[in-house]
A and B are shown apart, each in its own frame.
Chain A
Amino acid sequence: MSPPPPSESVFTSWVEEHRGILVKVARSFTGSPADAADLQQDLMLQIWMSLPSYRGQAKPSTWIYRVCLNTALTWRRGTARRERLVEPGADLGRLPARGASPAEAAGQRDLLDQLYQAIQGMPRFDRVLVLLMLDGLAYREIAEVTGLTENHVGVALTRARKRLAEMMKGAADELE
Chain B
Amino acid sequence: MNWSDYEAAWKRQELPVGIDADLPTLRATFEAKSRKMHGASLVRDLTEAGAGLAVVGAYVFFWWQLKAAGWPMAFAIALILGLCGFFARERFRARRLRLGADAPLLAKVEADIAELRHQGRLVRTVWAWYLAPCAGAIAIQVAAILHRVPSWNPLHRPAVLLGFVAFFALVFWLVWLINRRALRKRIEPRLDELEKLREDLLSGS
Contact = CB atoms under 8 A, between A and B. Distances in A.
Interface of A: 2, 8, 11-12, 15-16, 19-20, 22-24, 40, 44-46, 48-50, 53-54, 63, 66-67, 69-71, 73-74, 83, 85-87, 90-92, 95-100, 108, 111-112, 115, 123-126, 128, 134-136, 144-148, 152, 155-156, 159, 161, 164-165, 168, 172, 175-176
B6 A115 contact: yes
Given A23-B19, A96-B14, A147-B103, 15 more contacts: A2-B38, A11-B21, A40-B19, A44-B26, A54-B102, A66-B101, A70-B105, A73-B109, A86-B16, A92-B16, A96-B13, A126-B200, A147-B105, A159-B203, A168-B1
B201 A66 contact: no
B9 A168 contact: no
B11 to A, nearest CB: 7
B153 to A, nearest CB: 50
A112 B12 CA distance: 10
Interface in B110-146: 112
A168 B102 contact: no
A100 B9 CA distance: 11
Contacts of A125: 105, 197, 200-201
Interface of B: 1-3, 5-7, 9-23, 25-27, 29-30, 33-34, 38, 100-109, 112, 197, 200-205
A159 B12 contact: no
A66 B26 contact: no
23 contacts: A15-B21, A16-B20, A22-B19, A24-B13, A45-B30, A49-B101, A54-B102, A63-B102, A70-B101, A71-B101, A73-B109, A85-B19, A85-B22, A87-B17, A90-B17, A97-B9, A108-B9, A115-B9, A147-B106, A152-B202, A164-B6, A172-B1, A175-B1
Nearest to B193: A74
A155 B33 CA distance: 40
B164 to A, nearest CB: 44
A8 B5 CA distance: 38
Contacts of A67: 101-102
A87 B12 contact: no
A115 to B, nearest CB: 6
**Best-surrounded residue of B10, B13, B29 (most CB of chain A within 10 A):** B13
Contacts of B20: 15-16, 19
A46 B108 CA distance: 15
B119 to A, nearest CB: 16
Nearest to B110: A147
A98 B9 CA distance: 9
A145 B34 CA distance: 27
Contacts of B5: 111
A171 B68 CA distance: 85
Given A19-B19, A85-B21, A148-B201, A66 B103 contact: yes
B101 A50 contact: yes
Contacts of A90: 16-19
Contacts of A112: 9-10, 13
Nearest to A83: B25
Contacts of B19: 19, 22-23, 40, 85-86, 90
